[in-house]
A = this chain, B = another copy of it.
């Protein structure tokens, strides 16, 4: 597969190091700033291209909030909780249906006031 003809570059290496651990759900720009302390002249475009690559390889998940992408290295199934005051994004390892059950459920200190759910798949006209 294409994996074979993929080059191992320092920039990909450093970008991956910058996000592979951590739960802050950084944006491309935040990753760019962090990586710049190691490779000062790296370009934003390269950061975007490598993030795309990592997402394509399944090493990162993308969470789009407010038309801005956030990158998440946590692959196990989980949901996200966004604090409306501080904007912090938390990983929530509780079953989705459990979280939604009560809209004011206090779970580990979180007060859920609303949720946004989008289901993906194939509609009746497009078969499966």
Contacts and interface: CB of A to CB of B under 8 A. Distances in A.
B113 A81 contact: no
Interface residues of A, number: 42
Interface string A34-74: 00000000000000000000000000000111010000000
Given A118-B115, A121-B111, A126 B85 contact: yes
Contact of A97 (B92, B97, B108, B122): B97
A119 B112 CA distance: 6
Give the number of copies in the complex: 2
17 contacts: A63-B118, A65-B118, A79-B117, A79-B119, A84-B121, A96-B100, A99-B119, A108-B124, A110-B121, A110-B122, A112-B119, A112-B121, A113-B122, A114-B121, A115-B118, A116-B118, A116-B120
Interface of A: 63-65, 67, 79-86, 88, 90, 92, 95-101, 108-126, 128
